[in-house]
Amino acid sequence: MYKIQTLNNISVKGLDRLPRDRYEVASEIGHPDAVLVRSFKMHDMVVPETVVAIGRAGAGVNNIPVEAMSQRGVAVFNAPGANANAVKELVLAGMFLAARNICQAWDYTRSLEGDDASLNSQVEAGKKQFVGFELPGRTLGVIGLGAIGVKVANAASALGMNVVGFDPGITVGRAWELESDVRQAHTVDEVVGQSDFISVHVPINDHTRNLINGDRLRMMPAGGVVLNFSRAGIIDDEAAIAALDEGHLSAYVNDFPTNLTRQHPRCITLPHLGASTREAEENCAVLVADQIRDYLENGNVRNS
């Protein structure tokens, strides 16, 4: 009997991949063989010595002490791509929210007072105040062309946007998945210098922390929008807020609220919702449970 410890809610469909005649699955379990985790930060816990595999039901592995686990010979699996569509949809939503001032306009509408007849003049004022712009013909820069970045690039291209992407490590397979009119740049600077929108899709590490800093924000054309549905810290929050205050950026959309960002009127910040769809949660859990099962039963290592 294999013993699996779950550290967060993992979708039932994922758990069903671990047949109960051979697997005992529980949030508290003695001597687990493997751990299934979503966002729980494993850095602070003592991982039992019996654990030989960790499955992360998501793409990023920054909540797992990967290096320490690798040194112990623990295999770490994740689910790259399983939530790519969910993130892509929220990036597109973020671009529309920003371009059409939807959050501000909704706040405005909710703040109106008076009976229906007296709302008319206020509606007219709002109509003038919240004039937006359209996406076709605007340029989107996508930094990081993994499973998510490629989907975002292709979707934006289908909307009629010009798309320029950058990823120094893009695989041939991924490059082939890009629509033919998505251009690939050679540097981050080349992307930011021409992009009305920038969306980052890279993991957080020493190379990507503050990748989009004040200097790079200033290289963007005036009125730009930056989006971070990847990890906190890839865009320098303070620099982005300063650029909003100077009027150089028109919106900062991100999934990682801080007390600085969540109160700014032009910062649309969400509670890490990028992959929060029923479909993505299920896809991630199913994929990672399959990988864990294949590893425990057959010793196979596959990570996609």
Judged by the rule CB under 6 A, the positions of this chain that interact with ligand MLT are 38-39, 58-60, 83, 274-275
Q: How far is the CB of 76 from ligand MLT (least distance, A)?
A: 13
How many of the other CB atoms lie within 10 Å of CB of 164? Answer: 22
Q: How far is the CB of 39 from ligand MLT (least distance, A)?
A: 5
150 closest CA partner among 124, 186, 176, 169: 176
| Closer residue to ligand MLT, CB minimum distance, 279 or 297 | 279
Q: E strands, 78-234, where?
A: 139-143, 162-166, 182-184, 197-200, 224-228
| Closer residue to ligand MLT, CB minimum distance, 56 or 138 | 56
Cα–Cα distances (Å) from 51 to 67, 126, 127, 219, 293, in that order, read: 15, 58, 59, 48, 14
- Residue that is written with structure tokens 């300063």 in the block: 242
| Closer residue to ligand MLT, CB minimum distance, 201 or 216 | 201
Task: State both tokens at 128.
Answer: 């003038």
| Closer residue to ligand MLT, CB minimum distance, 94 or 224 | 94
| Closer residue to ligand MLT, CB minimum distance, 83 or 250 | 83
Whole-angstrom distance, CA of residue 243 vs CA of residue 192: 14
Q: How far is the CB of 8 from ligand MLT (least distance, A)?
A: 9
Q: How far is the CB of 27 from ligand MLT (least distance, A)?
A: 18
Q: How far is the CB of 127 from ligand MLT (least distance, A)?
A: 37
Q: Is 245 helix (H, G, I), strand (E, B) or coil?
A: helix
| Closer residue to ligand MLT, CB minimum distance, 58 or 141 | 58
147 closest CA partner among 78, 76, 80: 80
Residue nearest to ligand MLT (CB): 58
Q: How far is the CB of 95 from ligand MLT (least distance, A)?
A: 19
Q: How far is the CB of 111 from ligand MLT (least distance, A)?
A: 33
Q: Look up residue 149 and give its amino acid.
A: G
How many of the other CB atoms lie within 10 Å of CB of 73? Answer: 7
Q: How far is the CB of 46 from ligand MLT (least distance, A)?
A: 22
Whole-angstrom distance, CA of residue 47 vs CA of residue 25: 16
- Residue that is written with structure tokens 């039963």 in the block: 297
| Closer residue to ligand MLT, CB minimum distance, 65 or 274 | 274
| Closer residue to ligand MLT, CB minimum distance, 8 or 70 | 8
Burial 74-93 (b: 16+ CB within 10 A, else e): bbbbbbbbbbbbbbbbbbbb
β-strands 197-200, 224-228 pairing: parallel
